[in-house]
Structure 1
Amino acid sequence: MKYFIIVPDGAGDEKIESLGGKTPLETANMPVINGLAAKGEVGMVQTIPEGVAPGSDAANLSVMGYDPAVYLTGRSPLEAASIGIDMSDTDVAFRTNIITLVDPETGKPADETTTTAYEDLIITDHSSGDITTEEADALIKAIQQELGSEKLRFYTGVSYRHCMIAKEGSTDYQLTPPHDVLGKPVGAHLPKGEGLVEGAAAQDAEFITELMKKSYEILRKHPVNQARKARGLNPANTAWIWGQGKKPSLSSFYDKYKITGTAISAVDLIKGIAICAGLDSVDVEGATGTIHTNYDGKAQAAIQEFKNGKDFVYMHLEGPDECSHQGDQPGKIKCMELIDEKIAKPVIDYLRDAGEAFRVLVVPDHRTPLCLRTHSSDPVPFVLYDSTGEQKQDRARAFNEDSGRMGKSFGSGYELADYFFEKF
Structure 2
Amino acid sequence: MGSPAEPKRRVAFVLIDGLGDVSIPRFGNKTPLQAADVPNLDAIASAGVNGLMDPVEVGLGCGSDTAHLSLLGYDPRVYYRGRGAFESMGAGLAMSPGDIAFKSNFATLDEKTGIVTSRRADRHFEEEGPILCVALDRMKLPSFPEYEVRVRYATEHRCGVVVKGPRLSGNISGTDPLKDNRLLLEAKALDDSDEARHTAAVVNELSREISKILVSHPLNAKRLAEGKSVANIVLLRGCGIRIEVPQFEKKHGLWPCMVAPTKIIAGLGLSLDIDILEAPGATGDYRTLLTSKATAIAKALSTPLQTSPSVFVPGEDEHKPGRSDGYDFGFLHIKAIDDAGHDKASVFKVKGLEAVDRAIAQLAKLLWQAESTGNFQYFICVTGDHSTPVEYGDHSYEPVPFTICRLKDFVGAVGGESSVLETSLDPFPLPTVKAGEDLNEAIGLEKGRKCKQVQAFCGDSVFEFNEIAAARGCLGRFPGSMLALMSHVNSISVPFILVEIAAIHDLVHPSADMFIEPQSLLKNNDLVSSGWHVPSSTDRLIFAASSVIYKLCVSDSSFFFQYTSLTRMCYILGRSFHGESSFPSAFSTLFGELPKETWYCSDLYNWEGFWYASSHLPAAMAARLNFQANDSDVFLTSSMKTGNTWLKAIIPTIMNPIGCMDDDNNDPLLKRHPNELMPSLEVHLFKENPNPDLSYMSSPRLFQTHVPYPIRVHVFGPFHDHVLSYCKESIKRPEKILFLKYEDMKKDPRAELRRLACFLGRPFEKEEEVDKVLWRCSLERLKNLEVNQHGADPWLGFEYKFYFRRGSAGDWKNNMSNEMKEKLDHIAAMKFEGSGLGFGH
Identify the range of structure 1 (245-254 vs 292-301) with the bigger mean alpha-carbon deviation: 245-254
Question: In the TM superposition, what is the alpha-carbon distance from 1:384 to its structure 2 partner?
Answer: 1.4
Structure-2 change in CA distance of 1:39 and 1:233 (3 Å): farther
Identity of aligned residues (%): 27
Q: Does the residue aligned with 2:384 lie in a helix, a strand or coil?
A: coil
Alignment of structure 1 residues 18-417 onto 2, 5 Å: 18-49=26-57, 54-99=62-107, 117-119=113-115, 121=117, 123=119, 125=120, 128-132=122-126, 134-144=127-137, 150-159=146-155, 160-166=157-163, 167=165, 168-175=167-174, 181=178, 185-187=181-183, 191-193=187-189, 203=198, 205=200, 208=203, 211-212=206-207, 215=210, 219=214, 224=219, 236=231, 238-308=233-303, 309-341=326-358, 343-354=359-370, 355=372, 356-387=376-407, 392=457, 397-407=463-473, 408-417=475-484
Q: Does the residue aligned with 1:173 lie in a helix, a strand or coil?
A: coil
Question: In the TM superposition, what is the alpha-carbon distance from 1:290 to its structure 2 partner?
Answer: 0.6
Amino acid at match of 1:121: T
1:232 and 1:42 mapped to 2: Cα distance? 53
Structure 2 unmatched ranges of 5 or more? 1-8, 304-325, 411-455, 486-495, 502-841
Amino acid at match of 1:406: R
2:16 and 2:228 mapped to 1: Cα distance? 27
- Once the two structures are superposed, residues 156-186 of structure 1 have per-residue CA deviations (whole angstroms, 9 ceiling, x without a partner) of 14213322223332122244888xx55x543
Structure-2 change in CA distance of 1:23 and 1:357 (3 Å): same
Structure with greater Cα Rg: 2
Amino acid at match of 1:384: I
Amino acid at match of 2:362: P
1:106 — aligned with what? none
Identify the range of structure 1 (18-27 vs 3-12) with the bigger mean alpha-carbon deviation: 18-27
Per the normalisation by structure 2, the TM-score is 0.43
Question: In the TM superposition, what is the alpha-carbon distance from 1:292 to its structure 2 partner?
Answer: 1.0
1:177 and 1:66 mapped to 2: Cα distance? 28
2:378 and 2:45 mapped to 1: Cα distance? 15
- What RMSD over aligned residues (CA atoms) do the two structures have, in Å? 3.6
Question: In the TM superposition, what is the alpha-carbon distance from 1:415 to its structure 2 partner?
Answer: 0.5
- Asked if the contact 1:194/1:203 (under 8 Å) is kept, the reply is no
Question: In the TM superposition, what is the alpha-carbon distance from 1:142 to its structure 2 partner?
Answer: 3.2
Aligned residues between the structures: 404
Question: In the TM superposition, what is the alpha-carbon distance from 1:402 to its structure 2 partner?
Answer: 1.6
Q: Does the residue aligned with 2:11 lie in a helix, a strand or coil?
A: strand
Structure 1 unmatched ranges of 5 or more? 102-109
Question: In the TM superposition, what is the alpha-carbon distance from 1:232 to its structure 2 partner?
Answer: 9.2
Question: In the TM superposition, what is the alpha-carbon distance from 1:248 to its structure 2 partner?
Answer: 2.9
Question: In the TM superposition, what is the alpha-carbon distance from 1:396 to its structure 2 partner?
Answer: 5.4
1:328 and 1:222 mapped to 2: Cα distance? 36
- Asked if the contact 2:54/2:478 (under 8 Å) is kept, the reply is yes
- Asked if the contact 1:89/1:246 (under 8 Å) is kept, the reply is yes
Q: Does the residue aligned with 1:248 lie in a helix, a strand or coil?
A: coil
Structure-2 change in CA distance of 1:372 and 1:248 (3 Å): farther
Question: In the TM superposition, what is the alpha-carbon distance from 1:18 to its structure 2 partner?
Answer: 2.6
- Asked if the contact 1:46/1:380 (under 8 Å) is kept, the reply is yes
**Greater relative contact order (CA < 8 Å, ≥ 6 in sequence):** 1
The answer to which structure has the higher strand fraction is: 1
Per the normalisation by structure 1, the TM-score is 0.80
1:239 and 1:131 mapped to 2: Cα distance? 13
Q: Does the residue aligned with 1:383 lie in a helix, a strand or coil?
A: strand
Q: Does the residue aligned with 1:121 lie in a helix, a strand or coil?
A: strand
Structure-2 change in CA distance of 1:349 and 1:152 (3 Å): same
Amino acid at match of 1:353: Q
Amino acid at match of 1:75: R
Q: Does the residue aligned with 1:45 lie in a helix, a strand or coil?
A: strand
Amino acid at match of 1:163: G
1:116 and 1:249 mapped to 2: Cα distance? 43
Question: In the TM superposition, what is the alpha-carbon distance from 1:263 to its structure 2 partner?
Answer: 0.4
Structure-2 change in CA distance of 1:169 and 1:229 (3 Å): same
Question: In the TM superposition, what is the alpha-carbon distance from 1:57 to its structure 2 partner?
Answer: 1.3
Q: Does the residue aligned with 1:164 lie in a helix, a strand or coil?
A: strand
